[in-house]
Chain A
Amino acid sequence: MPMHDLEQHVVTIDKDSAPRIIHFGEDFWLEDLPEGTRVIYPPAPLEGLENVDAAIRHSLNFPLGADPLHAQLKPGMKVTIAMDDISLPLPPMVTPDIRERILTIVLQMLADYGVDDIHMIIATCLHRRMTDAEIKRMVGSTIFREYHPDRLYNHDAEDPNGIVNIGETELGEPIELNRRAVESDLIIYVNINLVPMDGGHKSVGVGLCNYRTLKAHHNPKVMRKTDSYMEPKSSHMHSIVNRIGKVVNEKLNVFHIETVLNNKMYGEQLSFLTKNEDHFTDLDWLKFDGLRFALKKLPSAAKRKMMFSIPSPYDVVAVNAGSTEPVHEKTLERCFEQYIVPVKGQADVVITGIPYVSPYNVNSVLNPLLVQVMGLGYFHNMNMGTPVLKKGGTLILCHPCYDTFDPEHHPSYIEFFNRLLPETRDAMTLHRKYEKEFAENPSYVDRYRFGNAYHGAHPFYMWYWGEGGRQWTGRVIAAGATNSRVPELLGWEQAATLNEAIAMARTSAPAQPDITMLHHPPIFMCDVQE
């Protein structure tokens, strides 16, 4: 996108500016911001591919750094297709999901070449198992009927017989992966890249591994050394993932199919949410008022249900296939093209709304730990190495911070939040003292394996994910928090309104503070320049 277009995505508030819409959990705030506040908007969606199926076929026949897929197939071979789970894309996309389209073409090709020993594994790593209905929605009913549950299932990182060690990195990190995938002649990985953190070596090396392998990079030490985990080239976490990935590629035959989606999170009816409010038409304001009116009448759970029932009409903007690194390089180029907004200088105060959804609560509630991971983890890291917030600055997060957890999806989070956080917020102490206990807790292992719960170690990762942000940020103010307990346990301050939060932030900021509001979602990444 040319530079002049991007400049439209940074707007400075003056006395005539319209109020701004801010995501507030399942609701929206409409707030007048102080004059001089800089508001950053996401870039417009990139144009989608006209013929996605043709692009998929082309990528399989002309892969990067690998033989065409058909040339790698022979009758009787064992093939495992692994794919990203429900955390991608976010929110879930309008059907047919891109995974269904890719699988349909790949399965047909496998059948044409006499390959019938095929398993499809959802690369959940330590995420929750997807439900049957979710899997069906993702792969389509035809594939679901034919393959589920025997040949289409969730990865199980705790199956004692289902994991196998394939070696270790030069630094001695053990690599333990899904047995079926390891014992296959060919692994085909079907990826969706929504953010640059995903894909590449992370797909197989993380998606199909177990707790022991994940420990090498999912720990607070690594997170403290990682400036932005959305910028894989300089991310310390990615350097370890890549080290593991290199061994994976030496030992296994992996064929990657990576896709990039644009940021068309909202359909026609809600597309006004991405616009500069100064350019709103009367119809846009009417739509917004209508949305707020409808939401006002509903309880939170019903609002969530309604929101999750609106899938996003993303377009596919790239499909690349072949070997890990050249494919991922192309993927990242396109990702950055979609997400980067150049921004001049950092801010003393950053304001951001926290929406109802994160990668870890699809069809569930955004609990306090996830509010934390969205603010201090994801949004803080949406940059190219330099955060928008100055070191020691104030981050204002707009969210009700309700003390609600989903016992089916997040049972270990409940114990983490209520038992551990009152004792310490220090990530290193939590890691050292409690992570193993949670990871090995038989009840959490059972719920992970046979229920739909995130692994016992997962709440720790959420805390570590926020570690970089916590170290960087001076103060966090939860604007609109409906209780004091949640902000207190998270180490945050509480403000009833955004205005109050800004007034509080001014007390520790320079006389004329630079205030920036991040107008997401849809997500974007700031390329902060001096």
Chain B
Amino acid sequence: MSGLQMYEDLQRPEVMHHGAAAFYDLDGTLCSTNVVHSYAFYARNAPTILGKFKKTSSLLASIPFFLAADFYSRKLFNELFYRRYKGESEDRLAAMAQELFHEVIKPSIFDQAYHLVSQSRRAGHRQVLVTGALDLLAKPFAEHMGIEYVLANQLEYVNGYATGRIQGELVAGATKAAWIRRFTVEHRLDLESCFAYSDSMSDYPMLAVVGKPSVVNPDKRLKNIARQFDWPILKFS
């Protein structure tokens, strides 16, 4: 569906938009881990000791660089970061995804995240995960939380090996907002009644596009924005 069609649809009186969805960012919002933790898990579990050492130390060495990239743009950060998966076999990544979820992600899910998702479900909202994390991690997470829809990044594979690139459009920043708009049109939802939750300034477009944004453990920049717009500030621990 093109952007223009979508807008025209919204204008048609016979298209009734009702119901709401809750759009969640994952890393830092519903759990305390981020993409670096995930990669670190793969790095630690590299098949050879040398590989383990190389990957882990190179990750450690590049942390300042990634921090700078993240501050500048989450999109840039993700693009740069996912290059590190280059050469990993699809089988290995898939096999380790479940383990990674149980060992790293699941213990880091905030208790209040469970309450939030379950309250949102009780209120009749569709549950949607919109994350820059990889789908192989986002999917078990969504399944665990009872979240029905997932938008996540997918690695590109050639001959069974990751190229370090992302398939299609990178899910980050403004692309999340555009996707949310499309989702609400396709599901006949009222965007004004929809909720969005994120911890990061990079998700400002996603927060601004819905009628009811909330921030979770925001950084200073996002906290200022939330205060200015009177968005609820949730503190998860």
Contacts and interface: CB of A to CB of B under 8 A. Distances in A.
Contact of B232 (A405, A411, A437): A411
B112 A442 contact: no
Contact of B230 (A158, A418, A444): A418
Main SS class of interface, B: mixed
Contacts of A430: none
Contact of B195 (A158, A414, A442): A442
A407 B232 CA distance: 7
Contacts of A446: 112, 115-116, 119, 232, 234
B119 A442 contact: yes
A450 B112 CA distance: 8
* Most chain B CB neighbours (cut-off 10 Å) among A158, A405, A441, A446: A446
Contacts of A371: none
A443 B214 contact: yes
A418 B228 CA distance: 13
B227 interface: yes
Contact of A415 (B119, B125, B195, B230): B230
A445 interface: yes
Contacts of A450: 112, 115, 235
A13 to B, nearest CB: 44
Interface in B87-130: 112, 115-116, 118-120, 122-123, 125
Contacts of A160: 118
Contact of A407 (B118, B119, B125, B233): B233
Main SS class of interface, A: helix
B52 to A, nearest CB: 39
Interface in A440-499: 440-447, 449-451
Contacts of B234: 443, 446-447, 451
B188 interface: no
Nearest to B124: A440
Given A160-B118, A450-B112, A443 B232 contact: yes
- Could you say which interface size class chain B belongs to? 20 to 34
Nearest to B215: A443
A158 B233 contact: no
Contacts of A414: 230
A388 B116 CA distance: 47
* Most chain B CB neighbours (cut-off 10 Å) among A411, A418, A443, A444: A443
Interface string A140-182: 0000000000000000001010000000000000000000000
B22 interface: yes
Interface residues of A, number: 20
A158 B116 CA distance: 11
B115 A407 contact: no
Contact of A440 (B119, B227, B233): B119
A279 to B, nearest CB: 47
Interface in B179-237: 193, 195, 197, 212, 214, 227, 230, 232-235
Nearest to A418: B230
Nearest to B121: A442
Contact of B212 (A405, A443, A451): A443
Contact of B120 (A407, A442, A449, A451): A442
Interface in A370-401: none
A526 B214 CA distance: 45
A405 B227 CA distance: 11
A160 B115 CA distance: 9
Interface string A28-55: 0000000000000000000000000000
A446 to B, nearest CB: 5
A411 B233 CA distance: 9
Nearest to A419: B211
* Most chain A CB neighbours (cut-off 10 Å) among B112, B195, B230: B230
A431 to B, nearest CB: 18
Nearest to B197: A443
B112 A407 contact: no
Nearest to A444: B232
Nearest to B226: A407
Contacts of B118: 160
A443 B195 contact: yes
Contacts of A158: 119
Nearest to B237: A450
Nearest to A413: B230
Contacts of A437: 193
A160 B193 CA distance: 24
Interface string A397-439: 0000000010100010011001000000000000000000100
A437 B120 CA distance: 11
B192 to A, nearest CB: 10
A442 B123 contact: yes
Nearest to B123: A440
A438 to B, nearest CB: 10
* Most chain A CB neighbours (cut-off 10 Å) among B193, B197, B234: B234
Contacts of B115: 445-446, 449-450
Nearest to B211: A419
A311 to B, nearest CB: 29
B230 A442 contact: no
B22 A407 contact: no
B123 A441 contact: yes
B227 A442 contact: no
Nearest to B111: A450
A451 B227 contact: no
Contacts of A415: 230
A407 B195 contact: no
B156 to A, nearest CB: 35
Contacts of A444: 232
Given A446-B119, A449-B115, 5 more contacts: A414-B230, A442-B119, A443-B197, A446-B112, A446-B232
7 closest Cβ pairs, A-B complex: A440-B123, A443-B232, A443-B214, A442-B119, A442-B120, A414-B230, A445-B119
Interface of A: 158, 160, 405, 407, 411, 414-415, 418, 437, 440-447, 449-451
28 contacts: A158-B119, A407-B227, A407-B230, A407-B232, A415-B230, A418-B230, A437-B193, A440-B119, A440-B122, A440-B123, A441-B123, A441-B212, A442-B116, A442-B119, A442-B123, A442-B125, A443-B195, A443-B197, A443-B212, A446-B112, A446-B115, A446-B116, A446-B232, A446-B234, A447-B234, A449-B115, A450-B115, A450-B235
